[in-house]
Chains A and B, each alone.
Chain A
Amino acid sequence: MNIGFYPGCSMQGSSPEYNESVQAICSALGISLIEVSDWNCCGATAAHNLNRELSLALPARILAHAAADGLEEVLVPCAACYNRLKMVQHEIGADRKLQDSISEILDEPYQGNARILSILDFLERDVEPLLAEKIMKPLKQKIACYYGCLLVRPQNILDAKRHEDPQSMDHIMQLLGAEAIDWAFKTECCGAGLSVSKTGVVAELSGRILDDAAHRGAKAIIVACPMCHSNLDMRRKAIEQHRNKDFDLPVMYITQAIGLALGIDPVKLGLKRHFVPVNLEL
């Protein structure tokens, strides 16, 4: 099976373990990913905060490259990149004038028809059916699935089911043998892009998330977004100082959890790269 792949900057920068775990499970399951040629940054929060045209043009260039590469669908594991690409497709696709305007900025015609898959779309459709016979080590743990904002909102544009209480990650974790807890912070915001410029906000918002998950007995938090991961993992010390409380609660990408259940070496899944060590008994 061939699927286009847009890694985005985080997966090449501060979240290499997300990339490693995506690659590891795809090769274990015989799925090959084809990277979009000479891809650029999607512009993330900064572009849409300061320059609307740029926030449309940067993702439009990525879509144009995917089209030129002949990719009908593109897997975008980073939740922020996924959200931007979907938003841009929605906005430009529906507006002829805007298509012309963006084409002029790109200096090439807008071609935005590639189907954009989030990591959850992909796992649900292509990985879930293969799991049952491939699981070597069931994850018998209580875990909290944390979706954050960018995979579920705006719900109409992303076509997110049950956007206040999504289930797709919970379902995958149950297939892996884990107990996915009910909790209150599944889709609350971690503080996202204010991590550097207002770290205190992240300490407060991410602290509430850790607090509720720990209070309900979760042994790990499962995420699907590099920003959520870095705020809950890399910023752990700041959170603990802010709340004056220690949390023994590792944060794993859903792809790392799947990799563990498939029996893949934790080093190959990038599990040694976390700030909060992952010492789950398996």
Chain B
Amino acid sequence: MLTENNTMRITQIVNIHTESPSVKTYTFVDKLCSTARPGQFLMLWIPGIDEIPLSIMGTTNDLVSVAVKAVGDATRHLHNLEAGATIGVRGPFGTSFTENTGRVLLIGGGTGIAPLLFLAKRLQPKATHLAFVEGAKTKTELLFVSELGGVCQEQNLITTTDDGTAGLQCLVTQPLANLLDKESFDMVYTCGPERMVKKIFDLAEQHKLPLEASLERLMRCGIGLCGSCMLGKYRVCRDGPVFTSTQLREVKDELGISKIGFDGSRIPI
């Protein structure tokens, strides 16, 4: 229970990059988190404000990056910080994606793209074919498009927007059915809102394709003690955040349907 990973390290933000009107990426030095595998997460402490779970989006030497969307008090506060600001970090925590060497498909939305970009970079030299479907509300919120185009070749990157300002005008799940009918894949990877993951899981199941999904839940302790992130019998922070199709089948009555709220009651998603 007492691990080096769970000890809070104090560090400074060395770089902040604006990715979209609502998303910024933050880079800081942390040796332990720089050993993270795609899919793992860290807990980031904004002193005096909050501590939030974030998927790790990349590591270089001792540097670690995370993508943060301004959605609540903590993330808005983080958006107001400048390079040099002091933060606390613990992690890396949780399970990671396996690295399939065959034909792989990555699909995600919002900041769920961050760990998938991390994964895509790892898969690029290994996988025989790499396709990526990315969705966002509008063109300016499509994240890391040029990087993804570089990793998986332009023709294998499909983008969708709710308002049609870029790519196809539809939900990210829409081109998936078509793609799965047309092409064969060995593995589907996803990360994003749970209702989206649920749809993708259902599609993968119909096509008898193995899936690995990274899930997001209310997280407090991050180490499997507090029970806030329970998904059926699983603790998302400890048994996840990356789950396989086999595991998701066991919790399909809850996946995308209900979660544990701040007061410990079951609430709809």
A and B bound? Answer: no
Q: Which residues of A contact B (CB under 8 A)?
A: none
